[in-house]
Amino acid sequence: MMKVLLSIMASMTISLLLMMICTIISKNSIMDREKMSPFECGFDPKSSARSPFSLQFFLIAILFLIFDIEIAMLLPMLVTMKASNLVSWTMTMTMFIVTLILGLYYEWKNNMLEWTY
C-alpha cells in the first residue's frame, strides 16, 4: 500500500513540476494581425486560411481511436487464454465486450454516429 501511495505522490510531483517549468519557460506571444495572417509569397491571401473544422468529424475520429484501442486490448487477451483460468478469463472477456456493446449502444442512441443532424 505504501508503494502505491509513494508512486502516486512521485507521479503527481513530477507532473506538477513539469507543468510549472513549462509555464515559466514558455513565452507569451502577442497575437497581432500580421502574425496570424498566412504568408503567400508577399501577396495578400485570396481566402481565409482558417477553414471551419467539422466537430462531427472530430467525434467520429475519437470514436474510431477508442474502438481501435479496445481491439488492441482484446488481442492480447486471446493469447493469454491458455495460460489463465478459463472461468476468470471468460468473465473478464464477457464484461469487456458487454462494456463495448453498451458504449456503442449509448453512442447510437444519442445520435453520435450520425454524420448530419
User: pLDDT tens across 72-89, in order?
Assistant: 888 888 788 778 888 888
Look up cell 487477451; give the residue. 77
Instruction: Report d(CA 14, CA 3) in Å as an integer.
Output: 16
User: 27-64 burial by CB neighbour count: b if 16+ within 10 A, else e?
Assistant: eeeeeeeeeeeeeeeeeeeeeeeeeeeeeeeeeeeeee
Report which listed range, 29-33, 46-50, 94-98, is most confident. 94-98
**How far is CA 68 from its chain centroid?**
11
Could you tell me what percent of the chain has a pLDDT over 90? 10
For the record, the C-alpha cell of 100 comes out as 463495448
